[in-house]
Amino acid sequence: MWLRNPKSEARNPKQIQMSKFQIQNADSGVSSWSFAFWNSDLFRISTFGFRVCCLIFVAASLCQAADPVSQFIDAEINAALQEKKLTPAPRAADAELLRRIYLDVLGRIPTADEATRYLDDASTDKHDRLIDELLAQEEMPAYWRTVLDEWLNGNQMGRDFGQDGFLTYLEDALKSSKPWDRIARELLTPDLKDENQRRAAYFLALRVRGGDNDAKIDALTAGVASGLFGVQLQCAKCHDHPFVDQWKQDHYYGLAAFLGRTQEHRLESTPAIKERAEGEVKFVTTEQEEKTAKLMFLDSRVFDEPPPPEDRGKWYAKADGGLPETPYFSRRAVLADYAISADSPFFKRAIVNRMWKQLMGRGLVEPVDQMHEANPASHPELLERLANDFAGGFDLRRLMAGILHSDAYLRSTRWSGGGERPRDADYATAIMKPLTPDQLATSIGLATGHFDQLRAKFEREKKNRKIDEITPSIARALYSRERDVQEFAARFRTGGEGFEANAGQALFLSYNNLMQRQLNPSQGNLTERMMKQNDNAAAARDAFLTILSRPPTDDELTRAAEFLTVEEQQRRQTCTELVWSLLCSSEFRFNH
């Protein structure tokens, strides 16, 4: 893979012709990242610069995790591997685990100081301690609020109004360890008298803005079905589902009937919702028969609605402060009471499967919102046990910790067992995951020093922002709201949940003004630090540790130091290009 920064300054023609710098992965012999200069400014990026790297393989003895959730995870996974006569990959190398845990828990790479502390620690339980420490950090909710928002609202358009408040609601819920069932209830039936729950109304209000009534009902039904229950019902709207016998038209419109009376209600600065006391959802069957939808959940349970009071004046309870009136009977409350519970398999399995995919790279059921009888889990007993354990308290951190402490999570991504590589669904190895747009934007900002520069700006502005202290979570929130950071992350968002590198992304990393500003030496950032170091080997070690969270191999160090050995007037360029090439490497772009 040859990388060339097209915005770098021209070099001496003789240097250009002869200069070649390439780093090889010591174990695999495959180029993890490299670049060269030729007689022109042309450059080539293989597979758009995002080829999956072969990783350093370090064998490590596997120990049985003390966490009870981890224990039954490993028991189920290992039993299935034994049945297939597959030996699981060994534990990943220290540097790989360090980076993986930081990315999965905090959504960013570790700082150079954090990496040094971990790598210098000789204790055998340091990964377990790191997991517990990061799960307890206040930065964790600041990142995971964006993950939950993406699960719930990822495909929705026009998300600006109310999104900041919704993210604050999710962050507060995570900080206080609010159980997932309480969060889900507040999403479906927020108490608008409570300022915090009022922010939760965004989930439904987002789907009833503008458009005709049918479009609103469709958006509500799809959002609730996918976000809370892990199912897609759209194909059962016009007819029974053509591929899933379990889903009939009655299921789609049955869920729609619970939600169809929901309307938008604008408060002064917050999106809100209200519920009517009347109104039916009607649909036409394939036999052209018009039907009124029953209140029917996904398990075919039908609910009756009590007749309204004869006195229409009693259909609603009055409310103060501009809040909407409350109907005598709330269909959404019936849905929440029945479906958001420990006895609801759809509810508890959906979030467990989402969490498993987020941390493990693949859901036990794929796709994650196609949970039905015709699409069984790769490990059905494991999904059932995880769901039942989670339903004991709906504790998101406990679920996360159980997965993170498991041997299955801690394995190397490299297969060394001989023969064909096992399927991802076997979990014999860890699964390589592309960095999400938010992880990429934050990690590049952190590695280059741009994040620290913005944090210093936030410190100077905190009085005007009416903030007492710029804590890590506040810094993360403010950073994510910076316009150029949002534009950066948006460039790497693609439709759906998969990953697809494209030419636009490669060009963005080469030409974008934000990328160039982060690369250019300024205010003590990485490039400036490297330029000021007289020892080229020390400068190279700084770059590797800061960007890749590991020291360079001996071969990498020799080549990097040699590359940085140039005339003084060329030092800015070579330091910039070394940083740029590491950031564009597959080793940086993927969570491995």
- What pLDDT score was predicted for residue 464? 87
Q: What is the pTM of this model?
A: 0.87
Segment 522-565, tens digit of pLDDT = 988 999 999 999 999 999 999 999 999 999 999 999 999 999 99
Segment 379-402, tens digit of pLDDT = 999 999 999 999 999 999 999 999
Split at pLDDT 50, 70, 90, the class of 19 is very low
Cα distance between residue 579 and residue 565, in whole Å: 15
The answer to whether 544 and 538 are in contact (CB under 8 A) is no
How large is the average pLDDT for residues 196-204?
Answer: 95
> What is the DSSP annotation of 413-445?
SS--SSSSPPPGGGTSS---EEPPHHHHHHHHH
The residue with tokens 């402060």 is 321
- What pLDDT score was predicted for residue 13? 34
Quote the mean pLDDT of the chain: 86
The DSSP symbol for 314 reads: G
- What pLDDT score was predicted for residue 310? 92
Distance (Å) of CA 271 to CA 48, 50, 164, 209, 370? 41, 40, 11, 9, 30
How large is the average pLDDT for residues 446-471?
Answer: 90
Segment 206-256, tens digit of pLDDT = 999 877 899 999 999 999 999 999 999 989 888 888 888 899 999 999 999
The residue with tokens 């729950």 is 197
Q: With pLDDT > 70 as the criterion, what percentage of the chain qualifies?
A: 86
How large is the average pLDDT for residues 69-75?
Answer: 97
Segment 128-145, tens digit of pLDDT = 999 999 999 999 999 999
| Residue 28 structure tokens | 């695999």
- What pLDDT score was predicted for residue 525? 95
Reference 265, options 190, 317, 170; nearest CA is: 190
Query: Could you tell me the residue ranges of all domains in the chain?
Result: 13-52+434-453+485-591, 59-137+344-431, 161-339
